Amino acid sequence: MIPVLAKLLGRLFGGARGSGGAPDDRSGIYLHVRCRACGEIIRVRVNRHNDLSPIEDGDGFHVRKSIIGRHCFRRIDAEFTFDKAYRQVDATIAGGVVATREEWEAWEASHPAPAPAEPS
């Protein structure tokens, strides 16, 4: 019961674990975007110390990202807005839509990364 409670509290109060990242990645915020052209779901890492810019009114942060997946290589332009607690409050995405971590995990399980080419 305690691990379930700890997981729930982690999701409630944010942080790397609730953001879909590695447990020791405290500076990463993980977002997921589905490409409208091919359906690929891409995980995007935002570094909360380097990538975020403060909003003029001081009520949060924003970031712009150009995202390219592994499959169709079409560029997805996204802008994400976060509150002061680094929780996503808005997203504007050209060429894609917001996806969930669970959707990304299912996509990754059914579409393994291509093997690296051997040097010739």
Question: Could you state, in order of their start, the residue ranges of all structural domains in the chain?
Answer: 26-110
Name 82's bridge partners: 61, 88
Tell me the C-alpha to C-alpha distance, in Å, between residue 107 and each of 8, 77, 78. Answer: 24, 21, 20
Residue 119 has a pLDDT of 79
Q: What is the side-by-side strand order in the sheet with 76-83?
A: 53-54, 60-67, 76-83, 88-94
pLDDT grade for 23, boundaries at 50, 70 and 90:
low
Contact 49, 60 (CB under 8 A): no
pLDDT at 8 over 70: no
